[in-house]
Amino acid sequence: MKKIFSAKRNALLSSATISWGGGALALVLIILLVRFAAPNIFWRAFAPVFHAADTLALASHTFAASFGTAAALTLQNERLTSENSALASENQALSQKIVNISALSGFSVPQQHASGILAGVLAHPPVSPYDTLVLSAGSTAGVRKGMEVFGAGGVPLGVVETVLADFSRAVLFSAPGMSTYGWVGKASSPVTLVGEGAGTMSALMPRSANIIVGDSVFVPGPGMLPIGSVVRIDDEPSSPSVTLRIMLSQNIFSIPWVLVRDSGTALQGPLFSATSTLP
Amino acid sequence: MMRGAFTLATLASVIFFPWPLTAVLMLVSSLVEPLVPLAAGIFTDTLYYTPKAGVLPFFTLFGALVTVVALLVRSRLRTGIIRG
């Protein structure tokens, strides 16, 4: 009996049986396998793609901004320039004040300088949905798990959680589930900051703490470093406490680089669990 | 052509666009390709998920849910057409 062969009736492989979704799922599973088997190679392969995404975002932002009126942009530029120079002058005055006070008191204050490992940011929110940063510096550059990540101006952002040879991943303090100890308000009341995602955090405070909108929030590392401010207070009359809604001062949706350095953050968790002095 | 475009757009949006757009594309692409939401969810968590940042891989679970719902809807529609 003569058998008729038809490619469309091939039981093992047929274009009719492999859908786009099935092909995509197979590809993604292969990528997942590579991610676990060779994570450094995985990120090396994807780094150019993320750079292309950043370039595309910058180009689209420039294109959209070109539709703005030149006069409005010029005014905004002048306003920002004057604000910047005012802040620089204020910073200089405060630094001088520290020097004068330390000279009068006899204590020498160590000169703070922005040291650390400079790392480019491959991926950041909102592309990254879990409030994490993928950094282009890893163990070969000296990055270690538990190091703290700082933005421009020394603003603490998060902690390094995963380290590869050439890449690392940092979890921001605003990531859901992240808990950080700090201080809030003029009285520097101790507080536990809980990440809520999208660059926001929350904290429960007793009503008697008299926290107001605009109060600064600080975290340790070293000294008290400003991390954000209170933008809203949720108050239920029947509750003795209020919920502070806190926004990070650094714009995490547009971070080109960060500084990574060891500030002892990795020790905070064991330290606070080992002592009874919880805030 | 449309199936391929939706599939590629959804997977590319994981890297090039904010995650809300990816979520919308996952929902839209489930209408033509039910497996794409699951693939995009796994892809998103492969790139960005870290156990410390979240309790569960949310996007994988979301993609699986959308895929299951899409498959159920498609199976019901097919049954309905046969009966008609």
What is the interface pTM, i.e. ipTM, of the complex? 0.85
Question: Domain limits at B66?
Answer: 2-83
User: Is the same domain home to A38 and A146?
Assistant: no
State the Cα–Cα distance between residues B83 and A110, nearest whole angstrom. Answer: 82
Picking from A15, A17, A19, A20 by the largest number of B CB atoms within 10 A of its own CB, the best residue to mutate is: A20
Same domain, A141 and A233: yes
pLDDT at position A106, please? Answer: 72
A69 in a structural domain: no
- Taking the Cβ of residue A93 and every Cβ of chain B, the question of whether any pair is shorter than 8 Å is answered with no
Contact A20 B33 (CB under 8 A): yes
pLDDT by residue for chain A (279 residues), tens digit each? 555 555 444 444 445 567 888 899 999 999 999 988 988 888 888 888 888 887 887 777 777 766 667 777 788 888 888 788 778 777 777 777 777 788 777 766 555 555 789 999 988 877 777 888 989 999 999 999 989 999 887 888 999 988 988 999 999 999 888 888 999 988 888 999 998 888 889 999 998 888 899 898 988 877 788 888 899 999 888 888 899 999 888 888 888 889 998 876 555 555 545 544 444
- Mean local confidence (pLDDT), B23-32: 91
Tokens of A76: 């905004």
The answer to the question of residue A39 being in a domain is yes
CA distances from A235 to A144, A189, A261 (A): 41, 18, 38
- Is A177's CB within 8 Å of B53's CB? yes
CA B56 to chain centre: 17
Q: Does B53 touch chain A (CB under 8 A)?
A: yes
Q: For position A4, what pLDDT does the model report?
A: 55
A244 and A170 share one domain = yes
Q: Is A43 on the interface with B (CB under 8 A)?
A: no
- Tell whether A12 is covered by a domain: no
Range of the domain at A55: 21-64
B-contacting residues in A 47-66 (Cβ below 8 Å): 49-50, 53, 56-57
pLDDT at B55 over 90: no
Q: Name the residue facing A128 among B40, B46, B48 (closest C-beta).
A: B48
Query: How confident is the model at residue A252, as a pLDDT?
Result: 82
Alpha-carbon span B32 to B25, nearest angstrom: 11
How far is Cα A80 from Cα A100, in angstroms, rounded to an integer?
Answer: 30
Residue A159 lies in a domain: yes
Contact status of B60 with chain A (Cβ, < 8 Å): no
Using alpha carbons, select from A235, A248, A238, A150 the residue that is nearest to residue A193.
A248
Chain A residue with minimum CA distance to B41: A28
Across the interface, whether the CB atoms of A132 and B33 are under 8 A apart is answered: no
Q: Which residues, including other chains, have CB under 8 Å from residue A221's CB and lie 6 or more apart?
A: A148, A156, A263, A264, A265
Tokens standing for A63? 């294109």
Cβ-Cβ contacts under 8 Å for A148 (sequence gap 6 or more): A156, A158, A159, A160, A221, A260, A261, A262, A263, A265
B84 confidence band (pLDDT: 50, 70, 90): very low
Regarding whether A245 and A173 lie in a shared domain, the answer is yes
Task: Give the number of domains in chain B.
Answer: 1
- How far away is chain A from the Cα of B84, in angstroms, using its nearest Cα? 26
Please give the Cα distance from A199 to A201 (Å, whole number).
Answer: 7
A140 and A200 assigned to the same domain: yes
pTM above threshold 0.80? no
User: Residue B65 above 70 pLDDT?
Assistant: yes
Q: Does B30 touch chain A (CB under 8 A)?
A: no
Look at residue A226 and tell me if it is in a domain: yes
Residues of A in contact with B62 (CB under 8 A): none
Q: Are residues A183 and A248 in the same domain?
A: yes
Q: Give CA–CA dist A57/A62, Å, rounded.
A: 9
Q: Which residues of A touch B35 (CB under 8 A)?
A: 19, 21-22, 24-25
CATH of the domain at A252: 2.40.10.340
Together in a domain, A180 and A273: yes
Radius of gyration over every alpha carbon of chain B, rounded to an integer in angstroms = 14
Tell me the nearest-neighbour CA distance from B26 into chain A, angstroms. Answer: 11
Does residue B69 surpass a pLDDT of 90?
Answer: yes
Sign of CA dihedral A270, A271, A273, A279: negative
- My answer on whether A55 and A192 are in the same domain is no
Residue of chain B minimizing CA distance to A175? B53
Tokens describing residue A148: 């703290």
Q: Does A175 touch chain B (CB under 8 A)?
A: yes
Query: Which of A15, A17, A19, A25 should one mutate to test binding to chain B, selecting the residue with the greatest count of B CBs within 10 A?
Result: A25
The full length of chain A comes to 279
Cβ atoms of residues A216 and A203 within 8 Å: no
A136 lies in a domain? yes
Q: Do A161 and B50 touch (CB under 8 A)?
A: yes
**Distance from the Cα of residue A47 to its chain's centroid:** 18
Q: Kindly determine whether residue B48 and residue A20, on different chains, have CB atoms separated by under 8 Å.
A: no
Contacts of B17 (CB under 8 A, 6+ apart): A127
What is the pLDDT at residue A268?
54
* Cβ separation A28–B39 shorter than 8 A: yes
User: What pLDDT is attached to residue B82?
Assistant: 52
Backbone angles phi, psi at A101, to 5 degrees: -65, -40
Sequence-distant (6+) residues with CB within 8 A of A46 are A122, B15, B47
The residue of chain A nearest to residue B11, with distances taken between CA atoms, is A24
pLDDT at residue B36, rounded to an integer: 93
For residue A188, the model assigns a pLDDT of 86
Count of structural domains within chain A? 2
Q: Among residues A181, A137, A198, which one has the least CA distance to residue A162?
A: A137
Same domain for A166 and A260? yes
Q: Do A127 and B17 touch (CB under 8 A)?
A: yes
